Amino acid sequence: MPKSVEEICAELDVAARFHQPMRHLTSLRTGGEIACVAFPDTPEKAAALVARLEEHGLRWSPLGYGTNLLVADGPLDRVAISLRQLKTPVRFEGCQVKVPAGYSLPRLVNQCADRGLSGIEGLAPIPGSVGGAVKMNAGSHGYEIADVIVSVDVARERRIVTLPRETLDFAYRHSPFTERDLILGTTLQLRPGNPEASRAEIAEYRRHRAATQPVRDNSAGCIFKNPGPGLATGRIIDELGMKGETIGGATISPVHANFIVTNGSARAADVFALIERIRSRVREARGIELDMEVEVWE
């Protein structure tokens, strides 16, 4: 007989919260109620949880810090697996750092700079978890996390596997990991650096973000990928005069046109409608089909 999420979490000694509003778990502040958010505290429990959920036909998705996520309105019959409570420590060994997926990416960048390790300074302005950064191959200011990855630990097919970088096909805002892969952590290869120089570089990137992005508003970061070399989606939307357009509680940011920001009353349906308006206008005016950069749960 299929088991319930409650039974599975109890048997595996995994902490869980049920019937959680996703608007409280995402930076966009929209989304309906999810059936369960589970918090395994070891990689082994996380892998076992995924295996048991799949065995009983229960849908699951990894949940990082919710900073790149658009969740539909209404009830979501799935389990969100958060790795923010993993007890795995960050380990520094020479110029390599092994870090769990639930760890804060900005915090990691700061710690590496303080230790005189360079190579990820440009990732400092990106909010969210390390696992989320690996999943989308996050990048900024000419840096991509794939450039420094040595290996990735993944719960896959009922076991934990370590995948070397040379076996992983990363591309712009793309990784080879599927919805059935739970990223547990990664090992990064950095290089010797100067702490003072790294901190100054990081500070400049953060100043640039504050000046060019709506950092004080509810958003999920850039909504769309750039469509090609030399083509910036935000600039295209801006040139079409769409900054400030609003549907319900969602608005194309007047600061950066590739951001959709929401007020306290916004529904995910408002965001989806605005996304389709942008796509349609760009398609008609420029013949470009925009691809989503944010992850969508429906």
Q: Which residues are catalytic?
A: 173, 222, 293
Give the Cα separation of 206 and 212 in Å (integer). Answer: 10
144 and 137 Cβ atoms separated by less than 8 Å: yes
Whose structure tokens read 């700079």?
A: 113
**Residue 89 DSSP code:** P
Please give the torsion angle defined by the CA atoms of residues 124, 177, 36 and 69, in that order, rounded to the nearest 10 degrees.
50
Query: Position 244: which residue type?
Result: G
- The CA distance from 227 to 233, in Å, is 7
The 10 Å CB-count burial string (b at 16+, else e) for 175-206 is bebeeebbbbbbbbbbeebeeeebeebbeebe
CA distance 92 to 98: 7
